[in-house]
């Protein structure tokens, strides 16, 4: 007799595990099926985010930033250090400890919420008719069993996009897994892709002493960010951090021998170039994990790029089957995945109470998902960029204020960057907020709240901000929308 559940969640990343917890909180009998094993071969919950993504990358960014501060900035505080060195295995061990604490924490949360956790690969099979339950096969090695559930949430995430010219071996040629686990600082590190992973991982190893060259196919730098933010970021990353960033490149071949990796490419002037490195990180985007997830013939609709097709409520084309996170459209971000997980859990609970009508259904507004890139300075934004507003012919006003003119930033010694607010020229409603500077990963939350509440720049300008604090930069930028910033 198959085990029966109200909800089966496939995938225990931030989309799946959060969905499972919220389902359980709502009284639904829930199973979460996940196949992840860590480098020791042990099942480990939390998906990409906790195991090889958000959390470990931020741990290494913090370690390497401390190292760089000690090397370059402590002197101006009168703090003298001699013979500064980095113990990379100790840094990696600290990162692993943080990961372990979080992944085992999810197991505890599952226990506390009485969620059944199954290790193995899940596959959505079929259901006989609409009054029947969905069958889900769970395979683990040569063991296989079928569980049944009324509702299914697919949350299988994504994996690195393969690069046809080279195989990832996570020894010399690395994806995010290998880039987070190096045992020493490479002398020369190449990175393909100046996206989020390329910039974060490039920053980590550059700060620790590697010569880092990033090769980017797009003609410009960080095209998804507001142009002025991207320009400031490129200036600081190249001039101060020392990243070499080449845009508009076309990679022709990658050859390896025991000593090094040679990358032959055409640069933006159409000239042939060669880059020789000791390690190469490939970070050219991620692809959704939808292959083999549903049995042939059950009709789950997947688009040409592999994303499971869903509507605004994360409903797939199959009744009672939902999909959330990286495996569906929208930004590939942990908080987006989790919010979709919560919304779907609440939607299922609503359907169970037979109270679903389209006006009250919970859903995630993708227009107000914040982005953060954890470089130094950090980059964060929410809403539309200036180039989008121009393209869409939306009239707007701009308020911008630099961290250089902020007392707290000066005391921190972190004065690069600015906050820029874009507000509608007629209604003053905030349309986008763009930041580059210290701790903007935290400051962006205020902008998200403002946009969620459909605030105007005047609303932000009228709110009292503590002094001295970095949040005053946001306040001054809001005042700046009507040309009344006080400290510039």
Strand pairing report for 30-34 and 158-160: unpaired
Binding mask 52-91 for ligand FAD (x = CB under 6 A): -xx--x----------------------------------
Cβ nearer to ligand FAD, comparing 199 with 474: 199
467 is annotated as an active-site residue: yes
Q: Which residues contact 204 (CB under 8 A, 6 or more apart)?
A: 57, 60, 61, 64, 179
14 binds ligand NAI (CB under 6 A): no
Q: Give CA–CA dist 483/117, Å, rounded.
A: 56
Residue 400 pairs in a beta bridge with: 420
User: Is residue 334 a contact residue for ligand FAD (CB under 6 A)?
Assistant: yes
Report what 340 binds from ligand NAI, ligand FAD, none; CB cut-off 5-8 Å by kind: none
Asked if residue 202 binds ligand FAD (CB under 6 A), the reply is no
Q: Which is nearer to ligand NAI, 30 or 375 (CB)?
A: 375
* Residue owning tokens 């306040």: 475
Of residues 35 and 216, the one with the C-beta less far from ligand NAI: 216
Helix (H, G, I), strand (E, B), or coil: what is residue 275?
A: strand
Tell me whether strands 378-383 and 371-373 are parallel, antiparallel or unpaired. Answer: antiparallel
d(CA 63, CA 84): 14
Which residues in the 151-170 window bind ligand NAI by CB under 6 A?
none
372 contacts ligand NAI (rule: CB under 6 A): yes
The distance in angstroms from the start CA to the end CA of the chain is 72
Binding of ligand FAD at residue 136 (CB under 6 A)? Answer: no
**Cβ-based nearer residue to ligand NAI, 106 or 283:** 283
Nearest CA among 1, 293, 2 for reference residue 124: 293
Which residue in the shown chain puts its C-beta closest to ligand NAI? 195
- 217 lines the binding site for ligand NAI (CB under 6 A): yes
For residues 396 to 435, the per-residue mask of contacts with ligand FAD, x marking binding by CB under 6 A and - elsewhere, is ----------------------------------------
List phi, psi (to 5°) of 99: -60, -45
User: CB of 23: closest distance to ligand NAI in angstroms?
Assistant: 25
What would the two tokens of residue 222 be? 């960080």
- Minimum distance between the CB of residue 317 and ligand FAD, rounded to whole angstroms? 19
Number of Cβ within a 10 Å radius of residue 331: 14
The separation between CA 463 and the C-alpha centre of its own chain, rounded to angstroms, equals: 30
Show the tokens assigned to 281: 């990180």
DSSP at 129: S
Q: At what angle do helices 54-72 and 196-207 cross, to 10 degrees?
A: 40
285 forms part of the interface with ligand NAI (CB under 6 A): yes
- Residue from 191, 214, 314, 337 touching ligand FAD (CB under 6 A): that is 337
The binder of 48, among ligand NAI, ligand FAD, none, by C-beta within 5 to 8 A per type, is ligand FAD
* Catalytic (active-site) positions: 467
Residue ranges in contact with ligand NAI by CB under 6 A: 192-198, 200, 215-218, 251, 283-286, 331-333, 372-374
């Amino acid at each position: 007799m198959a085990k029966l559940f109200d909800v089966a969640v496939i995938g225990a990343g931030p989309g799946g595990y959060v969905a499972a917890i919220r389902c359980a909180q709502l009284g639904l009998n829930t199973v979460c099926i996940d196949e992840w094993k860590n480098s020791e071969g042990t099942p480990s919950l939390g998906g990409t985010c906790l195991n090889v993504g958000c959390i470990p990358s931020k741990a290494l960014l913090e370690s390497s930033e401390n190292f760089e501060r000690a090397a370059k900035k402590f002197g101006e505080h009168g703090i003298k250090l001699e013979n500064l060195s980095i113990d990379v295995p100790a840094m990696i061990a600290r990162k692993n400890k943080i990961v372990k604490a979080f992944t085992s924490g999810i197991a505890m949360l599952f226990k506390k919420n009485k969620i059944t956790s199954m290790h193995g690969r899940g596959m959505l099979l079929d259901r006989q008719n609409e009054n029947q339950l969905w069958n889900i096969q769970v395979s683990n090695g040569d063991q296989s069993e079928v569980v049944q559930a009324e509702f299914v949430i697919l949350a299988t995430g994504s994996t690195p996009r393969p690069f046809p010219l080279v195989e990832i071996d996570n020894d010399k040629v690395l994806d995010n897994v290998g880039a987070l686990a190096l045992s020493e600082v490479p002398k020369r590190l190449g990175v393909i892709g100046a996206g989020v992973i390329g910039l974060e991982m490039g920053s980590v190893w550059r700060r620790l002493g590697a010569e880092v060259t990033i090769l980017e196919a797009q003609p410009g730098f960080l095209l998804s960010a507001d142009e002025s933010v991207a320009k400031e970021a490129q200036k600081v990353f190249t001039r101060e951090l020392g990243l070499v960033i080449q845009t508009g490149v076309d990679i022709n071949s990658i050859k390896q021998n025991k000593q090094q990796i040679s990358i032959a490419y055409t640069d933006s002037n159409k000239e042939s170039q060669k880059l020789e490195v000791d390690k190469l990180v490939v970070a050219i985007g991620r692809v959704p994990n939808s292959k083999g997830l549903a049995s042939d013939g059950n009709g789950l609709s997947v688009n040409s790029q592999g994303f499971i097709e869903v509507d605004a409520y994360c409903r797939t084309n199959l009744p009672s089957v939902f999909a959330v996170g990286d495996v569906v459209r929208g930004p590939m971000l942990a908080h987006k995945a989790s919010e979709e997980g919560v919304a779907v859990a609440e939607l299922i609970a609503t359907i169970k109470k037979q109270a679903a009508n389209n006006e009250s259904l919970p859903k995630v507004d993708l227009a107000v998902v914040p982005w953060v890139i954890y470089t130094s300075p950090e980059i964060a934004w929410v809403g539309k960029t200036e180039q989008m507003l121009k393209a869409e012919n939306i009239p707007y006003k701009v308020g911008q204020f630099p961290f250089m003119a902020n007392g707290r930033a000066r005391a921190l010694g972190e004065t690069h960057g600015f906050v820029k607010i874009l507000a509608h020229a007629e209604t003053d409603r905030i349309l986008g907020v763009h930041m580059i500077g210290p701790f903007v990963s935290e400051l962006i939350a205020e902008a998200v709240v403002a946009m969620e509440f459909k605030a105007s720049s005047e609303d932000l300008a009228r709110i009292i901000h503590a002094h001295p604090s970095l949040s005053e930069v946001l306040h001054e930028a809001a005042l700046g929308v009507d040309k009344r910033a006080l400290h510039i």
